[in-house]
Amino acid sequence: MEPHEVPAARGRRLDAIHAALLRDPAAEIRAPRRRWTTLGVMTLLAVAVVVIASLLVYDRPAVGLSFGIRSPVTLLAALGALLLLVVGSSAIALHRSRSGLGVSAGTLVAAVVLAPAIYAAVVLPNPVHLPDAVPRWVDISPWGVRCFFIAVIVGAIALAGFTRILRRAVPVATRLRAATLGAAAGAWSGLAVFAFCPSGDQHHLLYGHVLPILVLILLGSLTLGSRLRP
Amino acid sequence: MDAGTENVCDLMERYATGDECVFDALYHALAPRLHGFCRRLALYRPEADDLFQETFLKLHRARGTYVTGANVLHWAYAIARSIFLTNLRYRRRRPEQLGAAEDVARQEGIQVQDLDTPEQELIAENLLEVAVEELGRMSEKNRVAYVLMKEEGLSSLEAAAILGTSPSAVKKRAQRAYEQLRTALDIDEVTDCRSNHGTA
């Protein structure tokens, strides 16, 4: 049942493709440094958002890393785990593999499920911050509206950067990959609000810090597909 | 990776860095198998031709994303399937009545090899027709898994990478397609025998 290609027909098709290519706007050629430049810009922007928001709200940068901490060891352990989560989830989401078709679907599913689960396991059961150690001059909502907003801003920056890196590069399992990018962006947003917010209230942490990760996963899977497909 | 595949990869590598001159060579290296794959995906020739052309356009637009050393043909298959699925979803959302199109099997593309007697040729043609019809009837997932593994000779790992699923799932799909085809061919043979006995 091997289909045979007729050379004349192949020549006609080549002409048609040539004509179509002439009408097509110039395609991008390879830019090896784009990935690292984009990641660098993303990091700078995320840090800028956290610093500016901290200065506006708390009058000092990264309050979450210095105010009302249970112990420095707990803080370092949680910070290390969250940094690993950011690096690991981003690496899985952006990895192209030798085939150029990305990591396996199983790995992508694992990343989507585990990223919010690991984040919740790090921040929720034993919060790094004391529940009553909130700065007196700031009112922190138990619904975490401010944190949710900042998390979504940082997550959107990360999603935009990831999309730029993988634009037109994902022909396989596109929606799943988009959801994984959302999970990785969620990890970035989680780290950002961890550095920004000194709250140890579990209700606040659940709605303001963990929920945005799920929102970003949903956002990624629903909006990025068409940009990632070739 | 064999020498031919390496050569295509080199061509794609040059094309990815902006060398437009290699496009024709790349096209001639990829076209026969890619067009065959498109015809298996789309079943009807005009649709397959459109899919083939669109695959090359997308490959052109996405050339900057090519990973050095990756198998270009597998990458092109993945792009073709991605386009096919997008078109399929679009058509499902906006169904339209298409005009009658000739089946691929009846086109010049698929031909039965020369056989000794006209009777053998007729039987082979009939079997081929049944097989192609059955391929069109089965689910897209099973059909593509079957085509990649049984016709294109890819390993389950390679086919899984193209289809974005696990190797065991691909094997199961290809097996299901194979069994469906075998059942159809068996039924057809039985029907032929009965009609021959009836006429005799």
Among A108, A117, A63, smallest CA distance to A85 is for A117
Contact B23 A21 (CB under 8 A): yes
Contact B160 A104 (CB under 8 A): yes
Most confident of A30-39, A128-137, B73-82: B73-82
Mean pLDDT of A110-130: 92
pLDDT for position A131: 75
Q: ipTM greater than 0.85, yes or no?
A: no
Question: Which residues are CB-contacts of B66 (< 8 A; sequence separation ≥ 6)?
Answer: A30, A100, B12, B13, B15, B16, B72, B75
CA–CA gap between residue A118 and residue B19 (Å, rounded):
46
CA separation, residue B85 to residues A62, A153, A227, B71, B163 (Å): 46, 33, 15, 21, 11
Same domain, B73 and B30: yes
Which residue does chain A place closest to B37, by CA atoms? A3
Same domain, B67 and B132: no
Please, which pLDDT band fits residue A111 given cuts at 50, 70 and 90? very high
pLDDT above 80 for A136: no
- Whether A17 contacts chain B with CB within 8 A: yes
Same domain, B53 and B112: no
pLDDT above 90 for A1: no
Taking the CA of residue A57 and the nearest CA in chain B, the distance in Å comes to 42
Packing angle, helices A72-94 and A105-123, rounded to 10? 160
Among A187, A175, A177, A204, smallest CA distance to A117 is for A187
- Whether A174 contacts chain B with CB within 8 A: yes
pLDDT above 80 for B145: yes
Contact B23 A24 (CB under 8 A): no
Q: Residue A61 CB: number of other CB atoms within 10 A?
A: 16
What is the residue-averaged pLDDT of chain A? 88
pLDDT for position A108: 94
Taking contacts as CB-CB distances below 8 angstroms, the residues of chain B near A24 are 57, 60-61
Domain count, chain B: 2
Same domain, B120 and B48: no
Q: Domain for residue B48, yes or no?
A: yes
In angstroms, what is the C-alpha Rg of chain B?
19
pLDDT for position B96: 62
Lowest mean pLDDT of B18-32, B85-99, B151-165, name the range.
B85-99
Q: Domain for residue B93, yes or no?
A: no
Best of B24, B53, B65, B178 to substitute, by most chain A Cβ atoms within 10 angstroms, is B65
Lowest mean pLDDT of A46-55, A68-77, A213-222, name the range.
A68-77
Taking the CA of residue A150 and the nearest CA in chain B, the distance in Å comes to 32
Of A112 and B5, the structure prediction assigns the larger pLDDT to A112
DSSP chain A: -PPPPPHHHHHHHHHHHHHHHHHSPPPPPP-TTHHHHHHHHHHHHHHHHHHHHHHHHHSSS-GGGTSSBS-HHHHHHHHHHHHHHHHHHHHHHH---TTSS-S-HHHHHHHHHHHHHHHHHHHSSS-SB-TT---TTS---TT-HHHHHHHHHHHHHHHHHHHHHTTT---SSHHHHHHHHHHHHHHHHHHHHHHH-----HHHIIIIIIHHHHHHHHHHHHHSHHHH--
Contact A6 B79 (CB under 8 A): no
In degrees to the nearest 10, what's the CA dihedral of A71, A73, A74, A79?
120
Q: Domain for residue B177, yes or no?
A: yes
Q: Do A141 and A108 form a contact (C-beta atoms < 8 A)? A: no
Same domain, B127 and B186: yes
CATH code at position B143: 1.10.10.10
Same domain, B79 and B27: yes
The residue segments making up the domain with residue B147 are: 98-193
Among A223, A99, A218, A229, smallest CA distance to A172 is for A229
Please, which pLDDT band fits residue B125 given cuts at 50, 70 and 90? confident
Q: Domain for residue B199, yes or no?
A: no
Structure tokens at B86: 């997008």
Q: Do A115 and A187 form a contact (C-beta atoms < 8 A)? A: yes
Same domain, B65 and B133: no
Global pTM? 0.82
Q: What b/e sequence results for B37-58 when a residue is b if at least 16 CB atoms lie within 10 Å of its CB, and e otherwise?
A: bbbbbbbbbebbbbbbbbbbbb
Q: Domain for residue B200, yes or no?
A: no
CA–CA gap between residue A194 and residue A81 (Å, rounded):
12
Lowest mean pLDDT of A46-50, A56-60, A157-161, B75-79, name the range.
A56-60
Q: Pick the last residue of a domain from B88, B123, B146.
A: B88
Packing angle, helices B72-93 and B3-16, rounded to 10? 70
Taking the CA of residue B19 and the nearest CA in chain A, the distance in Å comes to 9
Taking contacts as CB-CB distances below 8 angstroms, the residues of chain B near A105 are 164-166
What is the residue-averaged pLDDT of chain B? 80
Of B189 and A33, the structure prediction assigns the larger pLDDT to A33
Q: Residue A229 CB: number of other CB atoms within 10 A?
A: 23
- Whether A7 contacts chain B with CB within 8 A: no
Q: Domain for residue B15, yes or no?
A: yes
Mean pLDDT of A60-78: 85
CA–CA gap between residue B27 and residue B181 (Å, rounded):
32
Contact B63 A229 (CB under 8 A): no
Please, which pLDDT band fits residue B200 given cuts at 50, 70 and 90? very low
Mean pLDDT of B147-174: 89
Mean pLDDT of A84-102: 92
Taking contacts as CB-CB distances below 8 angstroms, the residues of chain A near B162 are 101, 172
Please, which pLDDT band fits residue B116 given cuts at 50, 70 and 90? low
Same domain, B113 and B153: yes
For B117, the 3-state DSSP assignment is coil
- Whether A133 contacts chain B with CB within 8 A: no
CB pairs under 8 A between A and B: 141
Same domain, B111 and B60: no
Mean pLDDT of B104-111: 47
Same domain, B76 and B130: no
Structure tokens at A212: 């945005």
Taking contacts as CB-CB distances below 8 angstroms, the residues of chain B near A229 are 82, 86
Domain boundaries, given as residue ranges, for chain A: 5-228
Contact A171 B75 (CB under 8 A): yes
CATH code at position B60: 1.10.1740.10
Taking the CA of residue B137 and the nearest CA in chain A, the distance in Å comes to 16
pLDDT above 80 for A6: no
Q: Pick the last residue of a domain from B69, B88, B107.
A: B88
pLDDT tens-digit profile of A177-210? 999 999 999 999 999 999 998 888 889 999 999 9
Contact A14 B24 (CB under 8 A): yes
Same domain, B134 and B172: yes
Nearest Cβ partner of A10 from B16, B31, B71? B31
Q: Domain for residue B133, yes or no?
A: yes
Please, which pLDDT band fits residue A58 given cuts at 50, 70 and 90? confident
Nearest Cβ partner of A5 from B35, B69, B70? B35
Please, which pLDDT band fits residue B4 given cuts at 50, 70 and 90? confident
pLDDT above 50 for B109: no
Same domain, B113 and B77: no
